[in-house]
Amino acid sequence: MLEHVDSTSIAASPDTVYDAACALDWLDPEIAVTRISDGGDGVSGSYRLRMHVLGSEHSAVLEVEAGADGRRVGFSSVDCKECTIDGMYLLEPSGSGTRVSLRLQAQPHGRYRFMKPLIIPVLHKSVADALARLKAHVEERLAEAA
């Protein structure tokens, strides 16, 4: 199992960050997201993601579960042949803002087992990029509202 954890600080309340994160409109524009089922609480449910990774097009179904406390959003891949993914966004109050941590775990399967040295930097970059996009998205929404 490969794992990477990183965090960032966002100058907004945890509720504001959570609402922005659950909108899913801040994800990488290279990732096509389609909602398959609704979990009934806003963001929870199933999603199909289509993206290019390591020179190939991939499709994955993710089950997303939002925490009832509005402080966490977890996700797990379903029936992914290439690589099983599990992740968790955790939002914690920090000073006048929010500390957002992202833990991402990947378990490569099949031929991807042999590509771990290539997957590790992709995993690190994916976590850093996701946190940077979320931070920029929240701060842009706040600036537009001001």
CATH number, domain 2-28+67-145, options 3.30.530.20, 3.40.50.620, 1.10.10.10, 1.10.260.40 = 3.30.530.20
39: pLDDT strictly greater than 80: no
Exposed/middle/buried for 81, CB within 10 Å: 0-12, 13-18, 19+? exposed
Residue 58: predicted pLDDT: 79
Summarize pLDDT for 119-135 with one digit per residue, the tens.
Answer: 889 889 989 999 999 99
SS3 33: strand
pTM: predicted TM-score of the whole model, two decimal places: 0.87
Average pLDDT over residues 29-46: 84
- Strand arrangement, sheet containing 97-108: 2-10, 97-108, 83-94, 72-78, 56-66, 45-53, 32-38
- CB-based contact 45:39 (threshold 8 Å): yes
4: pLDDT strictly greater than 90: yes
Domain residue ranges of the chain, discontinuous segments joined by +: 2-28+67-145
Two structure tokens written together for 58: 């991939």
Residues in the chain: 146
Residue 14: predicted pLDDT: 93
Average pLDDT over residues 22-50: 84
